[in-house]
Amino acid sequence: MSEQVEWGLHCCLTLAWIGGEHPMPAVRLAEWFELPPAYLTKCLQALTRAGILQSVPGARGGFRLARQPADVTVMDVTVAIEGADNPFRCTEIRQRGAGVDPSAPEFRTPCAISTVMHRADLAWRRELAGHTLADLLASAPPEAAERTRSRYALLRG
């Protein structure tokens, strides 16, 4: 998983704390977290394409949440950035090599490795889908929200 998932989640939380009234430009979010602006912009664009963020054009434009925090899961953000594919790719190497008959009955069902990896992926997806941005906001230290709002107010001048 790329670090952009972490970036995306932190940006979503920050945008939730500051509210949608004043969109935050990508450059400001990049400065906020000391991230490369071009890479963060790609991340924010992916979240916008997924309907998680809204891009507001213009001099006072930027990004804001497009949905309520309770309506965005950690899995939504992860899939928006990483895609929905299972990270494990079974290539059935057990069917290769000298003396192996790929049509043998033992190869009609997935191997134990593939089965375990598929179950792990499903458990991971269920866990991420079970947590929303609202849950993350609620579990953050109370001072995090206030610090974010205060810092944003200073930036806005």
Does some domain include residue 64? Answer: yes
Does some domain include residue 36? Answer: yes
Band of pLDDT at residue 74, cut at 50, 70 and 90: very high
* Mean pLDDT, residues 65-86: 96
118 within 8 A of 125, measured Cβ to Cβ: no
Does some domain include residue 103? Answer: no
pTM of the model as a whole: 0.87
Percent over 70 (pLDDT), the chain: 99
Does some domain include residue 97? Answer: no
The number of domains in the chain is: 1
Residue 2 pLDDT > 90: no
136 within 8 A of 148, measured Cβ to Cβ: no
* Mean pLDDT, residues 81-104: 87
Check which CATH number belongs to the domain holding 144 and give it.
1.10.10.10
Does some domain include residue 127? Answer: no
Does some domain include residue 149? Answer: yes
Band of pLDDT at residue 157, cut at 50, 70 and 90: low
For residue 52, give the amino acid letter. I
Does some domain include residue 35? Answer: yes
DSSP-based three-state secondary structure for 106: helix
Does some domain include residue 53? Answer: yes
Domain that holds residue 53: 4-85+132-156
Band of pLDDT at residue 31, cut at 50, 70 and 90: very high
